[in-house]
Amino acid sequence: QTPDPAITELPPWQQYLGEGVDAAPYGMPSQYETHVVRRNVPWLTADATSSVNFTPLHELDGIITPNGLCFERHHGGVAEVDPAEYRLMINGLVDTPLVFDLQDLMRFPRENRIHFLECAANSGMEWRGAQLNGCQFTHGMIHNVMYTGVPLRLLLEEAGVKTAGTWLLAEGADASAMTRSIPMEKALDDCLVAFKMNGEMLRPEQGYPVRLVVPGWEGNMWVKWLRRIEVGDQPWHHREETSKYTDLFPDGQARRFTWEMDAKSVITNPSPQAPITHGPGRMVLSGVAWSGRGTIPRVDVTLDGGNSWVQARMSGPSFDKSMHRFYHEFDWDGRPLLLQSRAHDSTGYVQPTKDMLREIRGENSIYHNNGIQTWAVNEQGVAENVEVSS
């Protein structure tokens, strides 16, 4: 064996001085990590101002999504709200309709919580079969960050909700003026009016300066650039809860108000964008799991397409309605693999196969596809999105 030049030769970074402090007042990832970016699927939508891009799950580890990699979904582009002109109004069935500015909000008691946000359409392209090669595209409409914000309950208490107030409408300040109806019970339970993510102010594309956090429920309800909360006595049935975000069944009927995100998991490594490059031998399989109904105490993994399963090793903190990280370490003998993961949530729910979902919902419901994902890995370590027989 020849000596390794990475050891025997003096590299430039050991000889010459590097950048001083403040070379990048807001730091960026290494120049060797420029491939770690959100990506979109251009043919999905008519225009980038009403579209979606995807979190590169295969490049991440742990449970926290870096702010710059959190997937984006806009319905009228990114609103660039001037915080000095930011106002939040609460009106409708309240004792006193109120207006808050940003400073008012920051004077309420705050909470810090880590939650996943998943678009209802995540994996929606996979209903009819394996289609996109990469967990970024099949599962990347999700991110998981720590939010700092005021419990919505406190703001509602400030205005005084009238007894008839059983629903609220959250409205955004963007060019789509996004609206969603939310039952009062959820609003009082665990919703936050958040202004920070992972410690810093929200990114513009995530609703700067203020967004709604609706833990465990579909991402569309987490209204960004939140400008108004109206209290009412019935739902509003606006576009995003009738024409969109309703689940069409084969009989032509449609489920509505399918708010909770079912338990789901995906193996992020290896996967089509992250093949095995080191050959047979010791290897680490990893993935993420989450549930809109609680925590994920257990994930099962199969290497043979679902014939035999083993429990993966959960690692890292386990929070309610948050992403969880799992690992499975094993010796790869170099033979082809059919990888799947199966999440169990704290209610006893087990992630179903895609066929189990299709049996009930057909193939046209678009939203809430939480079926088990299969990656086929060949002898070279290349992974592909496939489906296998039941």
| Window 245 to 274, contacts with another protein (CB under 8 A) | 245-246, 248, 250-260, 262, 272-274
DSSP state of 47: B
- Binders of another protein: how many residues, by CB under 8 A? 139
Quick one: which of 2, 8, 14, 96 contacts another protein (CB under 8 A)? 96
Q: For residues 369 and 123, is the Cβ–Cβ distance under 8 A?
A: yes
Residues in contact with another protein, shown as a per-residue x/- string from 272 to 291 under the rule CB under 8 A: xxxx-x--------------
Whole-number Å distance between alpha carbons of 365 and 343: 22
Kindly identify the residues of this chain, within the stretch 134-163, that bind another protein according to CB under 8 A: 134, 136-137, 150-151, 153-154, 156-158, 160-161
Kindly identify the residues of this chain, within the stretch 315-334, that bind another protein according to CB under 8 A: 317-320
C-alpha distance across the termini of the chain, in Å: 48
Structure tokens at 343: 């999440």
Applying CB under 8 A, the span of 3-11, 12-20, 90-98, 193-201 interacting with another protein comes to: 90-98
Quick one: which of 66, 67, 102, 133 contacts another protein (CB under 8 A)? 133
Counting contacts by CB under 8 A, is residue 85 touching another protein?
no
CB-wise, 141 or 288, nearer to another protein? Answer: 141
Whole-number Å distance between alpha carbons of 310 and 121: 29
Applying CB under 8 A, the span of 11-19, 22-30, 107-115, 282-290 interacting with another protein comes to: 107-115
Residue-wise DSSP of 105-134: HHTS--EEEEEEEE-TTTTGGGTTS---SS
- Beta-bridge partner residues of 179: 171
Counting contacts by CB under 8 A, is residue 314 touching another protein?
no
Residues in contact with another protein, shown as a per-residue x/- string from 1 to 40 under the rule CB under 8 A: ----------------------------------x---xx
Quick one: which of 68, 83, 131, 279 contacts another protein (CB under 8 A)? 131
**How buried is residue 338: exposed, middle or buried, by Cβ count under 10 Å (0-12/13-18/19+)?**
middle
Q: For residues 141 and 122, is the Cβ–Cβ distance under 8 A?
A: yes
Residue-wise DSSP of 306-346: SSSEEEPEEES---TTS-EEEEEEEEE-SS-EEEEEEEE-T
Q: How far is the CB of 7 from another protein (least distance, A)?
A: 26
75 three-state secondary structure:
coil
Applying CB under 8 A, the span of 10-18, 63-71, 197-205, 348-356 interacting with another protein comes to: 348-356
Q: How far is the CB of 290 from another protein (least distance, A)?
A: 14
